[in-house]
Amino acid sequence: MSAAAATSGSFSTGDVQRYRWLILLGLITAAIMEVLDTTIVNVALPQMAGNLGATNQEIAWVSTSYILSNVVVLPMTAFLAARFGRKNYLSFSIILFIVASFFCGTSHTLGELVLWRLLQGAGGAALLSTAQATLRQIFPKEQQGLVQSIFIMGIIVAPTLGPTLGGWITDNYTWNWCFFINVPIGILSVFLVTTFLQDPPGPRSLTPVDWPGIGLLAVGLASLQYLLEEGEQKDWFQSALIVRLSIVALVCLSIFVWWQLTPKNKHPVVDFHVLKNRTLAASIFLFIALGFGLYGGIYLYPLFTQTILRFSPTLTGLALMPGGLATAVSAIVCGRLLGGKKPLLDPRLLIYLGVTIFAVSMWQLGHMTTQSGVEDTRVALIIRGLGLGFLFAPINQVAYGELNPRYAQQASGLINLARQLGGSFGIAVLGTYVQHQAAVHRSDLVSKIAYSNPQLNLRLQYMAEGFMQHGYSAQAARQLAWKAMDLTVTRQSLVLSYNDSFLLILGTFLITAPAILVLRRPKPREMASPVDAH
């Protein structure tokens, strides 16, 4: 073993140390591929529905099935890596992702596509949590700030660039290539991982499998994720199915937590004792809010710009791109500031800065009007991107700072689960909130329309005269003028509802911000310490 390897406590072969940057390339490529697949297909869903003869509600399962299986497997990644070996588990997951991607692209029915998306999501779980934990093993602590920032950068930027890439592929090729594109990227990733990565020394875990825990976890999280994905479409608790799934999720997850913590369970599939570390627990809480803001914002923005501002899908994607690049810049800056044996800044200061910058962007997006243009939204998105980079990278760094190295894999699974569930909660809550606020604002605006208002009557008269100039009768023109006024009221109520939703994200961040006070500043010797063999 080389001296560097010995001092860092990392894998037993010097080759891993020598080629760790190639391993980083393979792991970050796989992670970007996985996260990208959560958003790249959204733009292509209408074309898929047409080709496969599916309704809009049915084709939504292409996205839902992927997230369902991904969420279920994420908390089990530590158990699977210990059971089968980290290299074997990572390699198998990437290969499964590639194979599933290929068969997604060749699917001829909705059932086939949903099945392969389920397998693709299951394979994708390790590409985040296990990959991130592996990087903490093969890089020395003075490089962790930069390395983890590069990895986090890919996770944050990919969802932003997904709609742009998906729109371009759909416009120039067919929806199938949204999946085929993963094959060559995945082959490169699996080559780098299988060639250069080695398992840490020591025997693999051959402890008994916690089948009750796995069953409770799978049923509970699948039920929770389904009701979050489909609740809005089914009018939430007005649907008997949603009510039943809510009960199933609550019961299964409650029993699951009890079973994992009971002394009778000697080998829990998820070790919740890791949450005794208050910094990690606070970080996971913050990651839920970050997922809420990241995926919630990506969900709201295209709806707002395409329905209100009349942006094309391509223009919407191009407006998102500078924000993604801004995230990359701020994440790299954080990596530089937090790298080295002694970080230049307290990570908590960067987190406060990130909250402030993100709050400014949400305030700007929360005050858009029907007259806002590309530049208005682009500036707000660039500020948002900068804020996300100053949030994800430092929180990730602090989360592992004083954690016992043997729990890094377990912590990584819970952190990524928190981010994913936060995103699901965000999309579910914001989708319902937009509809509710639109109805409230419309009712309020309509109540203020008075027939005796001279300005209203003058505007209706001008609109009616305009219709009459196009050949309509006086009565028909008057009716069309009222319809146009009704559309104006509806559009304004939607603008106000989107404003409220962006401000709700802002409020969520302000409410969760006090959790930053719970975070401890890791000591220089503790920051990002490499993981031991187990």
Cα-based distances in Å from 304 to 234, 372, 383, 443, 496 = 22, 11, 18, 20, 11
Q: What amino acid occupies position 91?
A: S
The full set of domains in the chain, from first to last, is: 1-209 (1.20.1250.20), 272-447+485-534 (1.20.1250.20)
Average pLDDT over residues 175-187: 89
CA-based diameter of the chain, in Å? 91
pLDDT at position 258 is 93
Expressed in angstroms, the distance from the first to the final Cα of the chain is 18
pLDDT score at 11? 42
**Cα 245 from chain centroid?**
23
* pLDDT for res 14: 54
Decide: residue 371, CB within 10 A, 0-12 exposed, 13-18 middle, 19+ buried: exposed
Residue 524 pLDDT > 60 = no
Apex 28 CA angle, 26 and 34, nearest 5: 105
**What would the two tokens of residue 423 be?**
């995103």
Amino acid identity of residue 347, one-letter, is: P
- Of 432 and 341, more confident: 432
pLDDT of residue 522: 64
Most confident of 12-26, 377-391, 396-410, 457-471: 377-391
481 membership: H or E segment, kind and range: helix 474-512
Residue 447 identity (one-letter amino acid): S
Q: Is there a contact between 272 and 284 (Cβ–Cβ < 8 Å)?
A: no
The average pLDDT across 486-495 equals 86
Is the pTM for the entire model greater than 0.85? no
Give the pLDDT score at 386.
92
The pLDDT value recorded for residue 206 is: 67
Residue 205's φ and ψ, nearest 5 degrees, are -75, 120
Looking at residue 70, what DSSP letter applies? H
Q: What are phi and psi of 240, to 5 degrees?
A: -65, -35
Task: Give the mean pLDDT of the chain.
Answer: 82
Q: What is the pLDDT of residues 382-405, one digit of tens each?
A: 999 899 889 988 888 888 877 776
Residue 509 neighbours by CB under 8 Å, 6+ apart: 289, 293, 355, 358, 359, 362
3-state SS class at 10: coil
pLDDT category, 523, cuts 50, 70, 90?
Answer: low
Distance CA 446, CA 439 (A): 11
CB 222 within 8 A of CB 258: no
Per 3-state DSSP, the chain is made up of helix, strand and coil in percentages (nearest 5) of 80, 0, 20
pLDDT of the residue at 440: 92
pLDDT score of 507: 93
Nearest to 117 by CA among 196, 175, 188, 201: 175
